[in-house]
Every structure is written in structure tokens, then in C-alpha cells.
Amino acid sequence: MTANPILAEALRGGIVESFHRGALAVVDAGGSVHSAFGDIERPIFARSAVKVLQALPLVASGAADRWQLTDEELALACASHGGEPLHAQTAAAMLAKAGVDKDALECGTHWPYNDAAIKALAARGEVPSALHNNCSGKHAGFVCLGCLMAEGQDRREFLRGYVRPEHPVMREVTAALQAATGYDLARTAVGTDGCSIPTYAIPLRHLAHAFAKVATGTGLSAGHARAAKRLRAAVARAPFMVAGSGRMDTRLMERLGERVFCKVGAEGVYCAALPEQGLGVAIKIDDGNTARACEVVLAAVIERLLPLAGEDHLFVHALSDLKLSNWNGIEVGRLRAADVLRHGAPPPP
């Protein structure tokens, strides 16, 4: 196996201390590869990076209208959130609109990702619920879809097991993923995601193509195209909901609004849609590093592809090349996208 190129580096004491290899694809809505690094044909689990694709049926089905979901709630349906109080409250509100509560969620429970939220719960002697799970908004979206599909039946009965591949809700979700990526999900590896829904192995080229479709609407059904546009707008108006305090997705979309839609996924995945350019981006860091590697890589890709003025450019550039400080606040090194991404010309496909 040929090794993928180095896409991100951590420096200390003037040398590279650690580095991250990976692959990335930039594809247009017609499916043509705009630029690529590494192996973009190997199927990879897209994990939470495709939540916006999994939320398309929530809107296209009419469930979002039926339950009068707000921008905040639609953004949360696309989120891997920090479990901050507003995230948990918003997930609870979505469930209440559909006539159920947190007991309908099948995502499991974990302590919030957000440090302050952990300490606040602990200080009150409380423990988290499924509402604090980073996927609770996506699951609340599945439940809202299911409550529409269940009409005339017992909702709780219908919803049970909605995380399973064969459940009517998950079939809708998987069909949307397949339509957007154009990849045969019946013939690829299937894993179980952290929140218990299926996750499918899909090549970066197909994932980037799906996000070019999200960016433009081209290649999607009319219903999914409208849904993608509405979800992008919702996240741009409520970027706190898609991630949370200090998080990359929130910071980028607070700054750039609808010029970028981006979403991180576990194990070093990032997907993004660039509507002005009509391009989709998909990144996988080989070693699964989500916390640092794919963030600087995404920032470098955005800096290359998006014409950014003044403050916006400085903002994005700073996210591709960060100071690393130690516990005494002393600068000890830098974390940055590799030179090949920052300065080089994009290699031909």
C-alpha cells in the first residue's frame, strides 16, 4: 500500500514532532475531481461528517414543517454538539414538538464533550442523559421523521429500534445517503457508529461529490435539493448548534456564514460544501485524529479555494497554523497544515 501524503504537522523545538498522513478530495457537482491528495478511492467510514445528508429526509419528508422546527433545531439535527445546556434543551424541545421525550432516543448516554458542561453537571451532583450525547440532535431529527411516518400508529411502538438498518426511518436515511453519494451502500462495509446507527464505508471521491451536490443542489432530487439549501441556511444562522463553544465548525460558520458548510466526523473525517465554488470537500486522516489534524487541513483547503478578504482571510489562515502552548502558557510549537496544502498548486486528478 502506498502511503498517503503528510497533510498536517506538529512542530516543537524547531523540528516536526508528529505528523498526520491522509487523503482529501475536492470534487464538483458533476463528479469531476478538482484536486486530490492521496488515495481517494478507498472506502472510509464517514461517521458524523455526513449528518447533513442523513438529515435530508427530515426536511424533504415534511416532518420539519409538520413539527415547526426552527433553524436552531435543524442545525442541531446536523450536529455533533458539546452537550452544553442549550444543546440539550434544544434536543428536548424537538422531541416535545413531535410528542415524545428523551426516552425515545436510542443514541446512548455520555458525559458532554464540553468541559464547562461536565463541570457544571458534576457541581450540581447530576449525571448526563441521552440529551447530552453529541448525536442527540441527529437522533431527535430521526425521531421527528419517525413520528411523521408513524401517523395512525402508536409512535413509541413504531419508533422502537429506529437505529437499525432495516427500520423504515433508517431506510429513508440510508437512501438519502446513497442518492447523494452515488455509492452502492448495499455492497460496501457497514459498521456501527458511536450512537448505534449504521455507518457505511464510502470513498472520499463520492463523499466530496455528495457535498458538491449539497453546495449546489445539482444532482439531488428537487426535495433533497430544497432540504440541503434549508439545512445549510439553518446552520449558517445557528452555528452554535452544530458544534458549540470554541469548536471549529461553529467558529468557521459564525465567521463565514453560508460561504462554507462544514462538518467534522469521528476518526479524522471532515466534509465541507463550498456553494460559491460549487465544490465539495472530503478529508480522512489515516490515524483517525479528529481533534487537531483534520481541522488545520480543512482550514488550509478553505484558504486555497475560497477568495477571502482581509479579516476573513486572517481568521481562516490562523486556523491552519496554530500556536501550541504549554501549561504555563509558553509557546512550545505549532500545529499546521503541511506545506503541500498551504503553498503548492493543487495536483491534477
Please report, as ranges, the residues that interact with a second copy according to CB under 8 A: 3, 10, 12-15, 17-21, 43-45, 106-111, 115, 118-120, 122-123, 125, 133, 189-196, 199, 201, 267-268, 285-289, 293, 326-330, 332-333
State which residue, 107 or 176, has the beta carbon closest to a second copy: 107
Helices within the chain (DSSP H only)? 51-54, 56-60, 63-66, 71-77, 85-97, 115-123, 136-149, 155-159, 168-181, 204-216, 222-237, 239-242, 248-256, 293-305, 310-319, 339-342
Least separation in angstroms between residue 81's CB and a second copy is 14
What nine digits make up the cell of 116? 464547562
Pair 294, 263: CB distance under 8 Å: no
State which residue, 19 or 315, has the beta carbon closest to a second copy: 19
- The Cα 283–Cα 306 span in angstroms is 17
DSSP 266: T
Pair 88, 241: CB distance under 8 Å: no
State which residue, 130 or 215, has the beta carbon closest to a second copy: 130
Q: Please give the C-alpha separations between residue 314 and each of 2, 8, 229, 311, 336, in angstroms, as whole numbers.
A: 35, 19, 28, 5, 14
State which residue, 123 or 345, has the beta carbon closest to a second copy: 123
State which residue, 217 or 268, has the beta carbon closest to a second copy: 268
Least separation in angstroms between residue 326's CB and a second copy is 5
Least separation in angstroms between residue 289's CB and a second copy is 6
State which residue, 96 or 122, has the beta carbon closest to a second copy: 122
- The Cα 235–Cα 261 span in angstroms is 8
Do the strands 279-285 and 269-274 form a parallel or antiparallel pair, or are they unpaired? antiparallel
Least separation in angstroms between residue 187's CB and a second copy is 13
**Alpha-carbon dihedral angle through residues 256, 257, 261, 262, given to the nearest 10 degrees:** 50
- The Cα 18–Cα 233 span in angstroms is 37
State which residue, 121 or 149, has the beta carbon closest to a second copy: 121
Least separation in angstroms between residue 308's CB and a second copy is 29
Least separation in angstroms between residue 221's CB and a second copy is 28
User: Backbone phi, then psi, for 67, in 5-degree steps?
Assistant: -95, 10
State which residue, 50 or 279, has the beta carbon closest to a second copy: 50
- The helix/strand/coil state of 80 is coil
- The Cα 279–Cα 266 span in angstroms is 22
Least separation in angstroms between residue 87's CB and a second copy is 16
DSSP 40: S
Least separation in angstroms between residue 67's CB and a second copy is 25
